[in-house]
Amino acid sequence: MKGGSIRLKGLRKDYGKHTVVSDVSLDIGSGEFVSLLGPSGSGKTTTLMMIAGFVEATAGSILINDQDVVGLPAQHRNLGVVFQNYALFPHLSVAENIAFPLRVRKLPAAEIAERVAWALDMVRLSGFEKRLPGALSGGQQQRVALARAVVFHPPVVLMDEPLGALDKNLRYQMQVEIKEIQQRLGMTVVYVTHDQEEAMNMSDVIVIMNGGRIEQLGEPKRVYEEPGSIFAGNFLGEANLIGGNLHHEAEGTLETSTGSRLRAARTFNDASIRAPAGHFVRPEKITLLRKHCERTPGKVDATGLNSLPGTVSRISFLGNVVRYSVDIGSGKPLTVDLQNGAGQELFRNGDEVVAAWNAADSLMFRHG
């Protein structure tokens, strides 16, 4: 199986006067796993449905292997599709469900049997051929839906929240299995999800959508570490945004309402003049020190380490991580994630601390 390429150019979808997808342009290479990520109403599912042919585009083009398929019925696009509810035929056996797209294509019986056996082996369901979907677990039904989507060797497989109904442990297991199958077959996958961890775990490229447009796209690590906007930074993972004003004497320095100064490695939105701004830092980049340590909080030291004084106001035990809320005297509390490792000192509510992090791990955004 060889994955197909997809090119979206100026894709738009209007419902009356309401535009739900606006000017989406995107190139997806053969064999890539691309996730469309965003909140409800961001346009990600509508974009997927336009690629599938279930929703008609108002404007723009959709090229699959350089062929414009706008106007082509869904059944003629030769795409595999996996939905959140699996859409299995309840009265057909596992083997009959998987064979359905092959029978529609009128393949010979011997080839159908061979491909069904191959697909069952691929999703580890050999021996389940005669069972009905109602006798399967959620994870097994999901495997049947995946097998049916790939059994006819489509160039592209589209998945719309396929793991949404599964519990957390099974969901992670299926993420691993889907990614392994995708890499083994070399198929191109466009995957819709609102789950940030799922997108980062599975994707070659993440496309963050907001208000019907692409907010940012790129490799997971880059999008996470270098968000191009406050929305992208807040949506993908946990984030702290400390408000203040850019200091007019030092570019990239923010002065908080309490007079503390913070440095950032990069600035966005022309954040080089005195203006309201936000200092962005991830919770796992911050460490907590006892208040009596030698470091002077509220200043950036010679090594480029930011620090702020605060008081622990809330503690959340998350298993491998302990999450602290630290009251820094202005705006929202600072969120700090510390590993729950052997010998790790735990703080208590009311402890006076110094939150410290490297300027190299920070970004600056000018508000507006």
Distance CA 267, CA 264 (A): 7
Asked if residue 317 and residue 179 are part of one domain, the reply reads: no
Nearest to 44 by CA among 206, 231, 237: 206
Digit-coded pLDDT (tens) for 75-101: 999 999 998 888 899 999 999 999 999
Residues found in the chain? 368
The domain that holds 200 is classified in CATH as: 3.40.50.300
Please report, for residues 240, 338, 358, the alpha-carbon distance to residue 282 in angstroms, rounded to integers and kept in the order given.
Answer: 6, 12, 11
Based on the domain organization, do 198 and 266 belong to the same domain?
Answer: no
Distance CA 329, CA 51 (A): 49
Q: Cα–Cα distances in Å, from 295 out to 43, 250, 270, 303, 309?
A: 47, 22, 32, 12, 10
Q: What is the pLDDT of residue 53?
A: 96
Closest CA to 256 of 281, 223, 291: 281
The residue with tokens 């200092």 is: 279
- The answer to whether the beta carbons of residues 62 and 11 sit under 8 Å apart is yes
346's CB contacts (< 8 A; 6+ apart) are 315, 322
Residue 149: enclosing H or E segment and its boundaries? helix 138-150
Answer whether residue 55 is part of any domain: yes
Provide the pLDDT for residue 198. Answer: 92
Determine, yes or no, domain membership for 94.
Answer: yes
Rounded alpha-carbon distances, angstroms, from residue 363 to 207, 225, 241, 268, 355: 20, 9, 9, 8, 17
263 in the same domain as 206: no
Strand order from edge to edge, sheet including 266-268:
261-263, 253-255, 240-246, 276-281, 363-366, 266-268
Q: Do residue 245 and residue 211 come from a single domain?
A: no
Spell out the residues 6+ positions from residue 249 whose beta carbon is closer than 8 angstroms to its own: none
Within a domain: 1? no
Let me know whether 91 and 209 are in one domain.
yes
Tokens of 169: 């442990």
CATH of the domain at 278: 2.40.50.140
Indicate the residue among 181, 206, 230 that finishes a domain: 230
Q: Is the pLDDT of residue 35 over 70?
A: yes
- Nearest partner of 321 among 351, 348, 341, judged by Cα: 341
Q: How far is CA 226 from the centre of its chain?
A: 14
Query: pLDDT tens digits for 282-320?
Result: 999 999 998 765 555 555 555 679 999 999 999 999 888
The domain containing residue 59 runs over which residues?
A: 6-230
Q: Which two tokens stand for residue 297?
A: 């909080």
Could you tell me the pLDDT band of residue 164, with boundaries at 50, 70 and 90? Answer: confident
Lowest-pLDDT range of 210-219, 232-241, 247-256: 247-256
Tell me, what DSSP letter sits at residue 192? E
Domain-located, residue 315: yes
- Do 65 and 109 belong to one domain? yes
Query: By mean pLDDT, which of 174-188, 192-206, 265-279 is the weakest?
Result: 265-279
Evaluate whether 165 touches 138 at the Cβ level (below 8 Å).
Answer: yes
Looking at the domain assignment, is residue 306 inside a domain? yes
The domain total for the chain is: 2
Q: What is the DSSP letter of 341?
A: -
AA identity, residue 278: G
Quote the distance between the C-alpha of residue 347 and its chain's center: 32
Please report the sign of the dihedral spanned by the C-alpha atoms of residue 14, residue 15, residue 20, residue 26: negative
The torsion angles phi and psi of 29, rounded to 5 degrees, stand at -80, 160
Between these two residues, 221 and 265, which has the higher pLDDT value?
221
Distance, C-alpha 107 to centroid of its chain: 38
- This prediction has a pTM of 0.88
| pLDDT score of 271 | 47
More confident call, 232 vs 252: 232
> pLDDT tens-digit profile of 329-340?
877 899 999 988
Mean pLDDT for the stretch of residues 27-53: 96
pLDDT at 102: 95
